[in-house]
Structure 1
Amino acid sequence: MDVCLNSTLQPGHLGEAPRTPGGCLEAEKKESLQKDGTAGLPQDSNKIESSLQSLQKFAPTNYSSYTQENYLYAGKKIVIQESIESYGAVVWPGATALCQYLEEHTEELNLQDAKVLEIGAGPGLVSIVASILGAQVTATDLPDVLGNLQHNILKNTLKCAAHLPDVKELVWGEDLEQNFPKSTFYYDYVLASDVVYHHYFLDKLLTTMAYLCQPGTVLLWANKFRFSTDYEFLDKFKQVFDTTLLAEFPESSVKLFKGILKWD
């Protein structure tokens, strides 16, 4: 898998990142400082951290090295905690491309109060952007990723989004009806970015994509095409979904597709 993390090539990226957590909560901290003076800031920070800890259900994985990366979407600075020690703790090119598309087509997509599920949310950038744009988001990934995912989501959406995103475990192809029963869960959009690369779970991924889509659901899939297996997956995807190429990003080799599940 491509592991080039040159942030200057990422759309929406703000360059050099601070080493302190921020996101939407920075404005709240500054407001407290202006009202109460220097002495009020630690107390306010402690309250914020306590609130985040009480909401966080999953403990972040203890990677030896984290970085803070800044992004700008929907008029908000988004601070993402990343680690190159895990594919699921890095923002990949497909994610920034999908965020750019969501930002530029918000009214067309009608994301306000839309029910959205992200497959393979990783460090959470796409879910955060969709949430800031007004969607009711469920961010999903494997168990070892959920702690960092929820950490980033809480830092960037608490008090900044109409709907606080939910974080859930989703193992592709496993216990789908048990964990996401069709009678209970319906999604207007299913989002996925850079979930297709050289791994052995592509058939389970396609099964999961199809399962989560019901009549009216739109699947948006952005991916950097790296290997022949990526194109093989695309061929299978087209057999299951009516597929439209929405956008291409030549500088990053990312293609963005819209999929509507075919019904017999």
Structure 2
Amino acid sequence: MDACLSSEQQPGCPGEGLNSPGGRLEAEEETVQKDGTSGPAGDFNIDPSLHSLQEFVPTDYASYTQEHYLFAGKKIVVQESIESYGAVVWPGATALCQYLEEHTVDLNLQDAKILEIGAGPGLVSIVASILGAQVTATDLPDVLGNLQYNLLKNTLKHTAHLPEVKELVWGEGLEQKFPKSTFYYDYVLASDVVYHHYCLDKLLTTMVYLSQPGTVLLWANKFRFSTDYEFLDKFKQVFDTTFLAEFPESSVKIFKGILKWD
């Protein structure tokens, strides 16, 4: 989950709990120090050749939990914290993981180039990597340390392609950080990025920018407020939109979008 605000500043969602349905198995509490060298981050030994990839340090929240999920035949352990919207797996993420798992062949995910918007703690990017994709996971600066930690923990030596972590603030510096001449994605993934915040126009601008001819955008979202449906209406104005799936127990809907070209 992403937004243009710091994740500590993001407005709350009335009546919205932090429990995710779907692939979650269990939870146990852990703590991590400021430098990320003890607690969960300390018990994961990184190959020396990957030290250059460790650019981000997890935010020093008071406590993290280790949540367990099962997708693509793998047990996935994700470090989460309820102190940040960007460090929690939300219902749209587990629904999108289930969809990717069930449609891997149809989507031709093997070696596909994927960018995830608002990757949060990284579950969707982890599952896409396990399914064979080349993944770039993006989010706001303050959650990138935890995102990077989860990706490395669950994909190192377990996937054909090691995911990449990049900063992405919606609507800002897109051409500088993701020039169209260099970056092309077969899929752009987004889950629960639409909720009660003030950056929906910037989100749509980012979705449009990252979509080139042939790019498929898969968007999963729990619909909570009227603003979510208003965003869907705007989404349909710029993307040829197909409704793919619904998960009534969590109010999650999944859409496919292909940018309309004049």
* TM-score of Structure 1 vs Structure 2, range by shorter chain: 0.7 to 0.9
- What amino acid is the match of 1:88? G
Distance in structure 2 (CA, Å) of the matches to 1:19 and 1:60: 13
Which one of 17, 21, 35 corresponds to residue 4 of structure 1?
17
* 3-state DSSP of counterpart to 2:45: helix
Shift of 1:113: 0.3
**Which one-letter code corresponds to 1:79 in the other structure?**
V
AA matched with 1:13? R
Residue 192 (str. 1) matches residue 190 (str. 2): yes
* Counterparts in 2 of 1:242 and 1:47: CA distance versus 1, 3 Å: closer
Match of 2:241 in 1: 243
The CA deviation at 1:55 is 3.6
1:173-192 equivalence runs, <5 A: 173-192=171-190
1:126 aligned residue: 124
- Equivalent AA in structure 2 for residue 48 of structure 1: N
What is the aligned-residue identity percentage? 82
For residue 50 of structure 1, report the CA deviation from its aligned partner. 6.2
1:75 — aligned with what?
73
1:152-163 paired onto structure 2 within 5 Å: 152-163=150-161
Q: CA offset at residue 46 of structure 1?
A: 7.2
Distance 2:109 2:44 in 1: 31
* Aligned 1:7-86 pairs, distance under 5 A: 7=20, 10-17=21-28, 48-49=45-46, 51=48, 55-86=53-84
Report the alpha carbon displacement of residue 6 of structure 1 after superposing the two structures with TM. 2.9
CA distance in 1 between counterparts of 2:87 and 2:19 reads: 15
Root-mean-square deviation (Å) = 1.9
Instruction: Assess if the C-alpha contact under 8 Å between 1:111 and 1:135 holds in 2.
Output: yes
What is the aligned partner in structure 1 of residue 165 from structure 2?
167
Secondary structure (helix, strand or coil) at the match of 1:14 reads strand
Tell me the TM-score normalized by structure 1: 0.86
| Superposition deviation, residue 190 in structure 1 | 0.1
Q: Deviations over 1:117-162 (max 9, x none)?
A: 0000000000000000000000000000100000000000000010
Instruction: Tell me if the contact between 2:121 and 2:147 (Cα under 8 Å) persists in the aligned partners.
Output: yes
Offset of residue 56 of structure 1: 1.4
Tell me the distance in 1 between the aligned counterparts of 2:17 and 2:67: 14
Alignment length (residue pairs): 239
The structure where helix makes up a greater share of residues is 1
CA contact 1:197–1:230 (8 Å) conserved in 2: yes
Structure 2: tracts of 5 or more residues without a match = 1-12, 33-41
User: What do residues 46-99 of structure 1 show as CA deviations (whole Å, max 9, x unaligned)?
Assistant: 782464655411000000111000000001100000001100000000000000
Q: Aligned AA for 2:152?
A: L
**Is residue 134–residue 161 contact of structure 1 (8 Å, CA) maintained in 2?**
yes
Q: Secondary structure at the match of 1:211?
A: helix
Partner of 1:138: 136
1:102 equivalent to 2:100? Answer yes
Is the radius of gyration larger for structure 1 or structure 2?
1
The answer to whether the 8 Å contact 1:20/1:68 transfers is no
Question: Distance between the aligned counterparts of 1:156 and 1:147, measured in 2?
Answer: 14
Paired residue for 1:41?
Answer: none
Cα–Cα, structure 1 residues 253 and 163, in superposed 2: closer, same or farther, change >3 Å? same
Aligned position for 1:151: 149
Letter in 2 for 1:151: Y
Q: Is the 8 A contact 1:17 1:70 kept in 2?
A: no
Asked if the contact 2:218/2:254 (under 8 Å) is kept, the reply is yes
TM-score, with length taken from structure 2: 0.87
CA contact (8 A) 2:31 2:63 kept: no
Match of 2:37 in 1: none
In 2: Cα distance, 1:17 partner to 1:248 partner: 30
